[in-house]
Amino acid sequence: MTTLTPILTRHWDQADSFTRAGYEREGGYQGLRTALTMDPDAIVQAVKDSGLRGRGGAGFPTGMKWGFLPPSSPNPRYLVVNADESEPGTCKDIPLMMANPHVLVEGVIISAFAIKSNHAFIYVRGEVLHVIRRLQQAVAEAYEAGYLGHDILGSGYDLELVVHTGAGAYICGEETALLDSLEGFRGQPRLKPPFPAVAGLYGGPTVINNVESIASVPSIVGNGPEWFAAMGTEKSQGYGIFSLSGHVARPGQYEAPLGITLRELLDMAGGVRAGHRLKFWTPGGSSTPLFTDEHLDVPLDFESVGAAGSMLGTRALQIFDETTCVVRAVLRWSEFYAHESCGKCTPCREGTYWYKQTLKRLEAGQGSEEDLETLLDLSDNILGRSFCALGDGATSPVVSSIKLFRDEYLAHFEQGGCPFDPAKSTLWAGA
């Protein structure tokens, strides 16, 4: 049985976990003190050796990303933390910043020092005002303690850290749209190449990493890359936060080594709510193909989830029991994608709109089998033909649900309406 490894979440239950005093009592900012005595390139090497892969969804090796920065450039280098967290089901970064903002601040300082940057930004989703205040407070406390600003802890290293709030658009989590938004433009993805490592924020070499990726850096520097690499699986090393939501007895954040299974996590979380059974789930948020109870023992690491036909994504495990209408769930997600599509490219702008219309008809029992072919045809035209990964992600719930639950789609128009009694499902209460 894999056990939990509370590291980032270790002292969330303490009343002052979000303060500098509370964080330092738990050993906070010791990693920074160690880092400032190291050669910056040695820190990049340690992050490479740890095997840390980006926790924002795609799983790109973090140290390798840092290594892509050109050795010299006329423009300043930037570190940008992606704290936009807006994917349906994804809910790890916001509680992390709420309960333990200093681990992110410490991670920013160490990471910026490692990549030789003197300017860092945390781009945070604008709706989460309570989290923004916590972050701003933590940054102010870090300045007061001499962890930020000029000549940090007498090391000669300078760093300015700005907390920037977005205006609540899912597309601004896409890294290049985020950069446009941060520069004050409308958030739409940029053409790549050039990649941000070469020409990112204000045209300067830029590293963009997820909150959890950067927050993992102090533990790697403090405990050593071998300690981190000893957790997890051969190619998906370390620990991560698994967010259980939906029809589960004890929803919440479960921090565990990569490779843990949903069966093990559900055991710790009290199982699917009493009297019900698992119907389907997302391994990594709404942009990852659905799994069913057949996938309970798939190790939740990048390779195993991929081999089983989905993606680890952000480890947002949304649990749906047998009272849930899969067509309705997919309609809800598709409405989200249609609303959040930035409109820059035709396949996503038009395709997500047609998804919504077609699924609405199907869910109301007014569709036909031909509509399923239309949905699959639309998916063929979106997947791989969209400008950014938002379009690709929108196809995941549609295609996987038709593959796994075709009969349920058919039942809708055969019965002339939804075969599920919404009164029995708590998920759609008030919908």
Ligand X SMILES: Cc1cc2nc3c(=O)[nH]c(=O)nc-3n(C[C@H](O)[C@H](O)[C@H](O)COP(=O)(O)O)c2cc1C
Which residues in 388-427 contact ligand X (CB under 6 A)?
A: 388-390
Q: Is 251 in the site for ligand X (CB under 6 A)?
A: no
- What is the Rg, in whole angstroms, of the alpha carbon atoms belonging to the chain? 22
**Interface region with ligand SF4, contact rule CB under 6 A, candidates 61-69, 243-251, 324-332, 345-353:** 345-353
Among 105, 108, 124, 345, binds ligand SF4 (CB under 6 A): 345
Q: Is 355 in the site for ligand SF4 (CB under 6 A)?
A: no
* Crossing angle between the packed helical segments 346-363 and 389-415, to the nearest 10 degrees: 20
Q: How far is the CB of 187 from ligand SF4 (least distance, A)?
A: 10
* Triad 148, 17, 239: Cα angle to 5°: 85
Q: Is 318 in the site for ligand X (CB under 6 A)?
A: no
Q: Which residues of 52-75 are buried (b: 16+ CB within 10 A; e: fewer)?
A: bbbbbbebebbbebbeebeeeeee
Torsion of CA 186, 191, 192, 198, to 10 degrees: -60
Binding marks (x or -) toward ligand X, 78..117, rule CB under 6 A? ----x-xxxx------------------------------
Dist CA 147 CA 158 (whole Å): 9
Which one of ligand SF4, ligand X, none is in contact with 209 (Cβ closer than 5 to 8 A by kind)? ligand X
Which one of ligand X, ligand SF4, none is in contact with 56 (Cβ closer than 5 to 8 A by kind)? ligand X
Which one of ligand X, ligand SF4, none is in contact with 405 (Cβ closer than 5 to 8 A by kind)? none
DSSP 269-283: TT-BSTT--EEEEES
Q: Which residues of 188-219 are buried (b: 16+ CB within 10 A; e: fewer)?
A: bbbeeeebbbbbbbeebbbbbbbbbbbbbbbb
Binding marks (x or -) toward ligand SF4, 368..387, rule CB under 6 A? ------------------xx
Which residues in 173-192 contact ligand X (CB under 6 A)?
A: 173-175
* Triad 134, 140, 141: Cα angle to 5°: 90
CB of 367 or CB of 393, closer to ligand SF4: 393
Q: Is 210 in the site for ligand X (CB under 6 A)?
A: yes
- In the structure encoding, which two tokens stand for residue 42, read together? 């040695």
Q: How far is the CB of 239 from ligand X (least distance, A)?
A: 15
- 358's CB contacts (< 8 A; 6+ apart) are 367, 371, 374, 375, 378
CB of 337 or CB of 409, closer to ligand SF4: 337
CB of 215 or CB of 266, closer to ligand X: 215
Q: Is 336 in the site for ligand X (CB under 6 A)?
A: no
Among 235, 263, 273, 344, binds ligand SF4 (CB under 6 A): 344
Q: Which residues of 162-174 are buried (b: 16+ CB within 10 A; e: fewer)?
A: ebbbbeebbbbbb
CB of 11 or CB of 190, closer to ligand X: 190
Dist CA 369 CA 218 (whole Å): 54
Which residues in 45-84 contact ligand X (CB under 6 A)?
A: 54-58, 60, 82, 84
Dist CA 86 CA 341 (whole Å): 13
The residue nearest ligand SF4 at its CB is: 348
Q: How far is the CB of 344 from ligand SF4 (least distance, A)?
A: 4
Query: Which spans of this chain sit near ligand SF4 (rule: CB under 6 A)?
Result: 171, 189, 341-345, 348-349, 386-388, 390-391
